[in-house]
A and B are shown apart, each in its own frame.
Chain A
Amino acid sequence: MNLLWLQGLTCSGNTQSFLCAENPSADEVLGMFEVLFCPFSSWEVDMEEVILKLLRRREELNVLILEGAVGGSDHRVCKRSFAEVVRELSRRADYVIALGNCAVFGNIPAKYDQEVKGLQYRFKQMGGVLGRDFRSRSGLPVINLSGCPAHPSWLSYVLLQILSQRKIELDELGRPKELYAYLTHHGCIRNEYFEWKVEAEELGKKEGCLFYYFGCKGPMTHSSCNRILWNGLSSKTRVGMPCVGCTEYDFPREGMLETRHLMGIPDELPLGVSKRGYILISGIAKTFAPERLKKRLMDEDSKETAQQD
């Protein structure tokens, strides 16, 4: 199978993220494909020549990966509009993968420029550059791997599924269900604090939930960040950084490190939780929260002794 990896308006973060892949690593995954062009491994071929060849000869294209958003009329490649080139290549591809939030939803560059789009979406608006009804030759719409950046294993998963011709089920935003049915919340090591409404009032501590004061979007963000860990060992919420919801269409929202409240209730509640339900449950949880969750897991003295030993 051949593969073409193009970059639109991007920070190269998805490329850099993929280079961090393990089990399998980036070279192992791409080693299973005939790479026509890829920004981090092509050294002999010229990208524009590869594209022109594909366009002219109507050669078969199996997998097209786009990283980055598609710009407006100024955004050009091969002396043509980038959007046009992407549309033509997508029509000819068996599978089209939008890698990262910019390629999926337009993300940061789309917030600045009205003309900028993702492949099949512009934020939550269906359509994007390819149109609502786009299907690649395999019959699938664009396979959306949202995230800023996308986790390297998410791309490896899709590529390996394609290679072994296994079915990829997608959610309503075109994202593989096996990766995005989860919430960041699932597997977060602060979950017990969330359940009992023990809120972190300060940053820099391993105790407490970051949802109520620090804007953590873990309970409403579709991602497997706490199931398939980053760099093989960690995640933002595990170290104490609030989830900023970078896999969703509305990233980056305003005020990401704060939680807005109305009469003590967070403006946005965990996915599927009603206001009434939240008030009722959180009141009870708070009342019965175990004492052990209200103090530090380790006191400062024990840390000091541990270090001296």
Chain B
Amino acid sequence: MKIQRKLLNRIEGEVELKLLWDSGRIKDAFVCAPNYRGFEKLLVGRPYLDAVVITPRICGICGHAHLMASVEAIEDAYRKAGFKVELSDKAQRIRKLTLTCEFLQNHLRWFYLYLMPDIIKLEPNLRELYEPLKGSVWTEALKASNLPVKVIALFGGQWPHTSYAVPGGVVCDPTGWELVQAEFLLRKLKEFFEERLLGMTFENYLSLKGEEYLEKLGGDMRVFCEVAIDHGLHEAGASYDRFLSGGNFLPGVTSGVLSENGKKFSFEVSKVSENEDFSFFSKRKEAYTWSKAARYEGLPYETGPLARQLMSGNEIIKNLYGKYGSSVLVRVLARLDEGAKLLKEALVLLSGIKLNEPSWIKPPLETKNFSGKGVGVIEASRGTLIHEIEINQGKIKSYNVITPTVWNLGPRDGKYLGVVERAVVGMASELKAEIVVRSFDVCSVCTSH
């Protein structure tokens, strides 16, 4: 049996893929996150508001989602301790808008910067368009991905790494200038979507129906689909067919749990657990990663855009899933379709911001002596993100973070392989196995934190 070690390190940090080959097929796979930074331990003993500064630094790609999970966890602790925490509609809209913009940045960069380089390996004639640094579409997409982060900067000061959301609201006090700028930037982004990604107007795209979707698709999405189908990526990449989405925070995104026989349940955070049998925390010799394994009712679940869209009743994605299962093709389309829909929602959120409302409503408590426990569940671009905080006399007593990649890229437990591990077992091509791994939006910096 051949053992192959492969380092995947395209932007998302390093993740090591160890593949065991037998008679030309992958017999077993190990996803290893080799580095650990100790965020949860570093937070203990600090004033609890430090969490909103430190936790976004867990990830440079979805740090904003960490900020939102962190602030929600603290607000949840306030509420559970009996304090009334009010948030103005304005503050809520601005938080949702900036998180949505982080999704838009992520989905674009993920597709063009992380995924397409693998696709040009399959179809070298596309190199001219999608080659990193040089391809005409690559450079255009990079510039387009900077439009939504400018919107975050307008309200949050900068991206990456701001802590502009605090318990009780947001710190910014925008004027019409910010709104006008943000609207212009989102409209520019819409143009990019229409001209490049969708290859048609937004209206036409949103009117596509399940049956005709793949035939009518245009733009870079069509390019991807054609290559994907030619190379069998519509048949590769299924895992457990169990899906989970935790956050209700974003427009059009519903939480829920979908079992392998198609039954839907509501998501309950109390059913989430972490297993560390195969992570270095256990100090066992079988351990191979710094990631823990997240489980729901003891079972591995896939999280991410496909899970979210199945939960939210997206007809197109449901239809594709019915036809092709949880393949690379469907996983990628779920992410891009979500991007298009979120862009539309971002404009709606923006237009509803009422400037005369307060940005921050001071919570009625003395922070120094506060004790309590709270949990924040948010959807980050690559799936469900959970922050749990316990505060004692104003200081953090314990902090636990479960990132989306801990669901997808986490290790096996005694019974089940990790979600990604299971998805590549049985494959015969190394490159395609890598594409399957990447279709989950690998972010190893989040996996081990």
Contacts and interface: CB of A to CB of B under 8 A. Distances in A.
Interface of A: 7, 9-17, 19-20, 22, 25-27, 30-31, 35, 39-43, 46-48, 71, 75-76, 108-109, 111-113, 148-149, 202-206, 225, 230-241, 244, 246, 252, 254-258, 298, 300-301, 303-304, 306-307
Q: What are the 3 A-B residue pairs with the smallest beta carbon separation, nearest first?
A: A13-B60, A204-B360, A112-B38
Interface in B391-449: 445
B111 interface: no
Contacts of A22: 146
B126 interface: no
A205 B169 CA distance: 12
A298 B163 CA distance: 25
A112 B41 contact: yes
A47 to B, nearest CB: 6
A2 B146 CA distance: 27
Contact of B162 (A113, A241, A257, A303): A241
B359 A204 contact: yes
29 contacts: A10-B60, A11-B59, A12-B12, A12-B59, A14-B60, A19-B113, A19-B145, A25-B143, A39-B9, A40-B11, A40-B132, A43-B120, A48-B7, A76-B34, A108-B57, A112-B39, A112-B42, A203-B169, A203-B359, A204-B171, A204-B359, A205-B359, A206-B175, A234-B154, A234-B157, A240-B172, A255-B49, A255-B50, A257-B52
B150 interface: yes
Interface centre among A10, A15, A230 (most CB of B within 10 A): A230
Nearest to B113: A40
B142 interface: yes
B164 interface: yes
B280 to A, nearest CB: 9
Nearest to B166: A203
Contact of A41 (B14, B133, B161, B176): B133
A235 B158 contact: yes
A111 B155 CA distance: 30
Contact of A39 (B11, B46, B175, B359): B11
Contact of A111 (B42, B49, B145): B42
B159 A11 contact: no
Contacts of A13: 57, 59-60, 63, 160-161
A139 to B, nearest CB: 30
B60 A307 contact: no
Interface stretch (B188-196, B203-211, B251-259, B350-358): B350-358
B9 A235 contact: no
Interface string B127-141: 000011110001100
Contacts of B150: 231-233
B46 A239 contact: no
Contacts of A108: 37-39, 42, 54, 57
Contacts of A71: 35
A304 B11 contact: no
A35 B131 CA distance: 14
A16 B35 CA distance: 19
A267 to B, nearest CB: 14
A257 B47 CA distance: 9
B194 to A, nearest CB: 22
A234 B290 CA distance: 37
A148 B158 CA distance: 11
B362 A11 contact: no
Contacts of A112: 37-39, 41-42
A234 B158 contact: yes
Given A20-B159, A239-B172, A7 B9 contact: yes
Nearest to B11: A40
A299 B11 CA distance: 46
A158 B375 CA distance: 43
A47 B14 CA distance: 11
Interface in B7-62: 7, 9-14, 34-35, 37-39, 41-42, 46-47, 49-50, 52-54, 57-61
Interface in B267-319: none
A257 B171 CA distance: 12
Nearest to A151: B158
Contacts of B356: 300-301, 303-304, 307
Contact of B153 (A9, A11, A233, A303): A233
A231 B146 contact: yes
A16 B413 CA distance: 33
B117 interface: yes
Nearest to A244: B53
A19 B47 CA distance: 33
A269 to B, nearest CB: 21
A11 B46 contact: no
A254 B394 CA distance: 12
A214 B171 CA distance: 11
Contact of A11 (B60, B132, B152, B163): B60
Given A7-B14, A35-B133, 13 more contacts: A10-B60, A11-B60, A19-B109, A31-B134, A39-B10, A39-B11, A108-B39, A111-B42, A204-B91, A257-B163, A303-B175, A303-B356, A307-B354
A7 B39 CA distance: 18
B171 A239 contact: yes
Contacts of A16: 11, 60-61, 160
A303 B356 CA distance: 6
Contacts of B38: 108-109, 111-113
Contacts of B158: 225, 230-231, 234-236
Nearest to A238: B157
B50 A256 contact: yes
Nearest to A236: B157
Interface in B52-99: 52-54, 57-61, 63, 91
